[in-house]
Amino acid sequence: MNAESSRVAVESPGDLVDRRLVAWFYLAACLFLLVSMLGGILMALQLVRWNPLKGIEFLSPGRWRMVHTNAVAYGFLANAFLGTLHWAVPRLTMKPVASRALSYFIFFAWQLVVLATAGGLIFGPSFQAQPWLEELTAQTQLSLSLGAQGVEWGETPFWIDPVALVGLLLVAINFMVPVARSKGPMYVSLWYFVAAYIWTILTYGMGNLMPEYAVAGTNAGAITGLFIHDLVGLFVTPMGWGLMYYFVPIILQRPIWSHGLSLVGFWGLAFFYPLQGIHHFLYTPIPMFLQYGAVISTIAVELVVATVIINFVGTIWGDGEKIKSNLPLRWFYCGMLYYFITCFQCAFQVTLTFQKLIHFTDWVVGHAHLVMFGVFSMWIFGAMTYLFPRLLRRPWYSRQLAEWHFWLSAVGVFVMWLDLTFAGVFQGFWWSSLQPWMDSVNGAVPFWITRLFAGLAMAGGFGCFLVNLYKTWRMPPVSESEETMDLMLEPATV
């Protein structure tokens, strides 16, 4: 924030933020994460053949697996990011969002989108055999499914896609207005947010419309790969890093180490990330030079990631002790460590040599969990740990529960990643050595059992968080001033 814009500011930044709305977004995010975790546990139980809810149509693990992934992307991450944006963007621009009424409308519309998606995924397939629907499918020669559509993360039923797109457009308008109104150069976080608003719309539109309606076959595969990759790279990643650039300097009370490196990080991501989609479909009939291009740009982005990590290590250099006492900071830096691990892993697994062995195996599943939970969910937990006391105007009920949340999550996801990575290597060798298929399934069961318990640990950690949140909410508010909210961050005070 340069000198001019802080002179212009007449309101205190706190007044620009609608705390109630941030809290609502966070609560919705927590609710959907809970649903998603239940779906994940159900699928994990099915894999180890202990599913106690067998043969119940609306609890089919196949459908709940899609609820699991969609609830994380659209229910948990999107809601949590929207909540945090409502906190951060007005403070970064010193302007309120375009319209508070619009913010509330977006809140309700987005919950409707998420609930309708879940409803469609769970109930849609049961009603697919409708004469009118089959006739429409035959006339249009399109995959008009009441339930899922056949694109990962684009399963959103076809009748919700337009609503979700309008919602994303409204989000972009609501947050672009304060950015446009603000004066002076933008802070790093805002680069990521501004790019992410437009990327998310383009990515969502591309993945939810083109393979379903416009393009078939191999070309649809190229688009699908681009979509599943961009949803992580152009929606979740920029939102996540934007928040890191915002929260870390505030908590440490010192500026980002190198402005030049943050420029490299942003523009490197913007250029290389979108070019990588096809690496999800190596050895398909997609032209080989495009597959090579995707591999090379993926390796290139790992170098960019290294600059970002160096920048954040430089920022905390000399103050590293703080991650012991300051929980949000610990969440953030642990997430960054995992981010570095996933990206390092990615530079290897993306090569054709590794893909030969590990494509289609649990290796990829482990990688996905380390990215989505170990990095972005952990960052969000850190932001929630930092913000909930400020939203509810009372310090956390229990430091111990917060610690349990951290350790169960951090250890749980790491064990799951390690376990599934090994499982993937075994599966790859069993398959390529032409063992009977069931050998690869039976051999994977010990890994899947380990994964089940790692998942239960992650869910248990989140349970601690929910209990802590409920108990905090039941306590009387202590203060109107923000400084006291940091009470729990120092161990001596609890």
Partner 1 sequence: MFESKGGVFFIGGVGFFAFAFLANVVVPMAMFEREVTPVLDREMHFALEVDEDETKLVKRLDELRAAHPRAFRTHEGAEVAVGLDAEHRFVKQELDKLQEEFPDALSVGEGAEVAVGLVPENRNIQKQFEELERRYPEAFAEHFGEVSDETCAQALRLGRQVYIGEGCWHCHSQFIRPVSNESLRWGSVAASEEYDNELQKPVLFGTRRVGPDLSRQGGRHGHDWHAVHLFEPTWTSPGSPMPSYPWFFDGSPEKPNRRGLALITYLQWLGSWLDEYPYYEEFDEVKGGQY
Residues 247-276 that bind partner 1 (CB under 8 A): 263, 266-267, 270-271, 274-275
Q: Whose Cβ is closer to partner 1: residue 32's or residue 197's?
A: 197
Angle subtended at Cα 353 by Cα 350 and Cα 358, rounded to the nearest 5 degrees: 65
Distance CA 197, CA 396 (A): 32
Length of the chain: 494
Per CB under 8 A, which of residues 426..455 are in contact with partner 1? Answer: 428, 431-439, 441-442
Radius of gyration of the chain from its Cα atoms, rounded to whole angstroms: 23
For the bound state, the minimum distance from the C-beta of residue 290 to partner 1, rounded and expressed in Å, comes to 6
Give whichever of 268 and 460 is closer to partner 1, judged by the CB atom: 268
Q: In this chain, which of 4, 10, 101, 217 binds partner 1, going by CB under 8 A?
A: 217
337-356 residues near partner 1, rule: CB under 8 A? 356
The interface with partner 1 within residues 91-110 (CB under 8 A) comprises none
Expressed in angstroms, the distance from the first to the final Cα of the chain is: 34
Return the number of the residue (154 or 374) whose C-beta is nearest partner 1.
154
Stretch that binds partner 1, among 73-81, 127-135, 329-337, 458-466 (CB under 8 A): 127-135
Cβ of residue 155: shortest distance to partner 1, in angstroms?
8
DSSP letter, residue 132: H
Pairwise CA distance, residues 192 & 196, whole Å? 6
Contact call for residue 221 and partner 1 (CB under 8 A)? yes
Residue from 283, 317, 348, 407 in contact with partner 1 (CB under 8 A): 283
Q: Which run of H or E residues covers position 363?
A: helix 362-369
Q: Which of 46, 237, 385, 468 binds partner 1 (CB under 8 A)?
A: 46
The DSSP secondary-structure symbol of 446 reads H
DSSP secondary structure letters along 201-220: HHHHHHHHHIIIII--HHHH
Residue range at the interface with partner 1 (CB under 8 A); choices 22-30, 243-251, 277-285, 334-342:
277-285
Backbone angles phi and psi of 103, in degrees to 5: -60, -45
Q: How far is CA 163 from CA 121, 159, 420, 465, in A?
A: 16, 8, 36, 32
Q: Which is nearer to partner 1, 6 or 353 (CB)?
A: 353
State both tokens at 406.
Answer: 């951290």
Of 283-291, 300-308, 378-386, 411-419, the window that binds partner 1 (rule: CB under 8 A) is 283-291
Is 277:313 a contact under the CB 8 Å cutoff? Answer: no
Q: Is 37 exposed, middle or buried (0-12, 13-18, 19+ CB in 10 A)?
A: buried
Of residues 355-394, those binding partner 1 (CB under 8 A): 356-357, 359-361, 364-365
As measured in angstroms, the least distance from the Cβ of 58 to partner 1 is 9
Residues in region 52-91 near partner 1 by CB under 8 A: 54-55, 57, 60-63, 65-66
Q: Rule CB under 8 A: which of 284-323 touch partner 1?
A: 284-287, 290, 293-294
> Could you tell me which stretch among 190-198, 370-378, 465-473, 478-486 binds partner 1 (CB under 8 A)?
190-198
Least spacing, CB of residue 85 vs partner 1, in Å: 16
Distance CA 118, CA 129 (A): 19
3 is a site residue for partner 1 (CB under 8 A): no
C-alpha to C-alpha distance for 300 and 296, rounded to whole angstroms: 6
Of the candidates 124, 366, 395, 412, which one interacts with partner 1 according to CB under 8 A? 124
Distance of CA 250 to the CA centre of its chain: 22
Name the residue nearer to partner 1 (CB basis): 188 or 378: 188
User: Minimum CB separation from partner 1 for residue 446, in Å?
Assistant: 13
Q: Three-state secondary structure along 283-349?
A: CCCCCHHHHHHHHHHHHHHHHHHHHHHHHHHHHHCCCCCHHHHCHHHHHHHHHHHHHHHHHHHHHHH
- Please give the Cα distance from 122 to 128 (Å, whole number): 12
51 binds partner 1 (CB under 8 A): yes
Nearer to partner 1, 284 or 398 (CB): 284
- Buried (b) or exposed (e) across 85-112, using 16+ Cβ within 10 A? bbbbbbbbbbbbbbeeebbeebbebbbe
Q: Which is nearer to partner 1, 337 or 441 (CB)?
A: 441
In whole angstroms, what is the distance from residue 400 CA to residue 201 CA? 41
Q: Are 117 and 157 in contact (CB under 8 A)?
A: yes
Residue with tokens 């159900």: 42
Stretch that binds partner 1, among 32-40, 119-127, 250-258, 381-389 (CB under 8 A): 119-127
Stretch that binds partner 1, among 106-114, 141-149, 398-406, 480-488 (CB under 8 A): 141-149
Which parts of 156-185 interact with partner 1 (CB under 8 A)?
179-180, 185
Phi (first) and psi of residue 98, to 5 degrees: -55, -45
Which residue's CB is nearer to partner 1, number 216 or number 303? 216
Q: Which is nearer to partner 1, 141 or 481 (CB)?
A: 141
Residues 461-490 that bind partner 1 (CB under 8 A): none
Task: Out of 6, 14, 20, 128, point to the residue binding partner 1 (CB under 8 A).
Answer: 128
Q: Cβ of residue 187: shortest distance to partner 1, in angstroms?
A: 9
Q: Nearer to partner 1 by C-beta: 200 or 385?
A: 200
